[in-house]
């Protein structure tokens, strides 16, 4: 089963870099307020858990997902902040724009990470591949006030290994001839794309580290694994297989919207309103991409983290929240228990397909669809001009009248509590409020 064929020794037939933000959300807060640098900072106060944490907080033993009450016990000096996703998103856009100064071939893989292809740019940029990666890293730190770790390698899988190798602010270069040195130090589950089930299967064949997997016979890999894992195997052997997806996302297989609120509630109308707002938000996104759903899954989560959910199929695809809310009313009544406290509601639009407003006229359906299309088209224009949820359904009244989080968790992020001139709570300029890096 073993294969003694050496890994490729070609250094960089392709030059792929993976750029990964270091504790990005917490770093954004430290960039906004230099007084927070060097201190244990977490975001997620509004959720009651650590959503993101600085390296100083990690050094204290804080882990992601830990409850605030537990964090206080092990790190009394921790600084807890509400998440400011508006600012994080704006800084993410700046992050990608800085990388695109060097190459147009950028795949936005997450809010704080991307792949970039810099193959053949040594002469145009008058710099070696390592120098280009270093310059990008320096630009990001200087202009955003956040650090990023970068991996340079012949393909995406190895670049991802490299970016994780030395954090924070690391720059790790893995040429083709050295791939085996790094893989021999990695457990196989640390490879991007290999999950728990694949790891378990590999372990059954006494394959525990990434190099052992890379050195398996190609026919054996094809016989035991599906295409995605065969492609990973090829890239572990230095081949360039997984091309960058540089196109903007145009479609979705499903759309999910989940809302956690505090304090937890047993008020039926309030909990139903939170679910209705989820459905409105999901439909807004579906209409933006001209999609309609054939079914929906709704769920309620109690304060003790027990979930109950139901799936509802529609008679025809739709992206109109008023139609969906009517359909899920009875399902909600089946799920809701007035003796329990609820903390989260969720809605998942599934079996999405391209929206077609020209359908067979069964009992006047085409006329109804045409009217709803015009109605929600007008609503979307109002929202685009004046802000999201300027117009909303009566079913989501309570969710729109009260803050999502109240009490200690209801503290607003700095960006929402300090507005620029001419801004409102519903409409703001696309400018993050940041202090200049010191």
Which letter, b or e, does each residue of 195-215 get, where b requires 16 or more Cβ atoms within 10 Å of its Cβ?
A: eeebbeebeeeebebbbbbbb
Nearest CA-CA partner of 350 in 277, 299, 400, 384? 299
Residue pair 68/79 in contact by the 8 Å Cβ criterion: no
Helix axes 268-288, 321-335, angle to 10 degrees: 140
Phi/psi at 262 (nearest 5 deg)? -135, 145
19 touches 74 (CB < 8 A): no
Backbone angles phi, psi at 349, to 5 degrees: -80, 125
Nearest CA-CA partner of 317 in 287, 278, 343, 288: 287
Q: How many other CB atoms are found less than 10 A from the CB of residue 417?
A: 12
Query: Strands of 106-110's sheet, edge to edge?
Result: 106-110, 113-117, 16-21, 148-153, 171-173
Question: Exposed (0-12), middle (13-18) or buried (19+): which is 306, by Cβ within 10 Å?
Answer: exposed
Q: Which helix (H) or strand (E) holds 343?
A: strand 342-354
Q: Which of 276, 376, 374 is nearest to 319 (CA)?
A: 376
CA distance linking residue 424 with residue 153, whole number of Å: 46
144: left (phi over 0), alpha (psi -120 to 50) or beta: alpha
- Residues annotated catalytic, as ranges: 113
Cβ 325 vs Cβ 393: under 8 Å: yes
């Amino acid at each position: 089963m073993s294969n003694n064929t050496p890994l490729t020794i070609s250094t960089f037939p392709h030059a792929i870099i993976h750029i990964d933000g270091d504790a990005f959300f917490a770093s954004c807060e430290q960039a906004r307020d230099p007084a927070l640098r060097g201190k244990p900072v977490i975001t997620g106060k509004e959720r009651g858990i650590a959503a993101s944490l600085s390296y100083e907080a990690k050094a204290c033993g804080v882990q992601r997902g830990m409850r605030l009450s537990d964090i206080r016990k092990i790190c009394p000096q921790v600084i807890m902040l509400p998440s400011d996703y508006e600012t994080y998103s704006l800084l993410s856009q700046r992050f990608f724009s800085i990388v695109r100064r060097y190459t147009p071939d950028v795949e936005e893989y997450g809010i704080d990470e991307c792949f970039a292809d810099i193959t053949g740019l040594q002469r145009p940029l008058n710099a070696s591949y390592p120098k280009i990666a270093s310059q990008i890293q320096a630009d990001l730190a200087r202009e955003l006030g956040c650090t990023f770790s970068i991996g340079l390698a012949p393909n995406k899988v190895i670049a991802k290994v490299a970016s994780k190798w030395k954090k924070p602010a690391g720059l790790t270069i893995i040429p083709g001839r050295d791939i085996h040195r790094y893989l021999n130090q990695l457990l196989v589950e640390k490879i991007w794309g290999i999950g728990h089930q694949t790891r378990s299967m590999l372990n059954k064949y006494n394959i525990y580290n990434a190099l052992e997997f890379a050195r398996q016979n190609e026919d054996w890999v094809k016989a035991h694994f599906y295409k995605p894992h065969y492609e990973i195997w090829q890239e572990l052997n230095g081949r360039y297989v997984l091309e960058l997806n540089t196109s903007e996302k145009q479609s979705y297989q499903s759309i999910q919207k989940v809302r956690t609120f505090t304090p937890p509630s047993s008020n039926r109308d309030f909990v139903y309103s939170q679910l209705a707002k989820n459905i409105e938000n999901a439909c807004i996104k579906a209409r933006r991409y001209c999609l309609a759903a054939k079914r929906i899954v709704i769920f309620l989560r109690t304060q003790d983290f027990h979930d109950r959910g139901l799936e509802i199929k529609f008679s025809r695809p739709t992206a109109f929240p008023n139609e969906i809310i009517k359909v899920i009313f009875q399902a909600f009544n089946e799920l809701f228990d007035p003796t329990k406290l609820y903390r989260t509601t969720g809605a998942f639009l599934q079996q999405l397909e391209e929206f077609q407003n020209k359908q067979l006229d069964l009992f006047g359906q085409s006329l109804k669809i045409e009217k709803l299309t015009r109605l929600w088209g007008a609503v979307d224009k109002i929202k685009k001009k004046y802000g999201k949820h300027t117009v909303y359904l009566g079913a989501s009244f309570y969710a729109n009248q009260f803050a999502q989080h109240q009490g200690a968790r209801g503290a607003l992020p700095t960006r929402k509590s300090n507005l620029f001139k001419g801004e409102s709570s519903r409409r703001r300029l696309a400018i993050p409020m940041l202090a200049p890096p010191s």
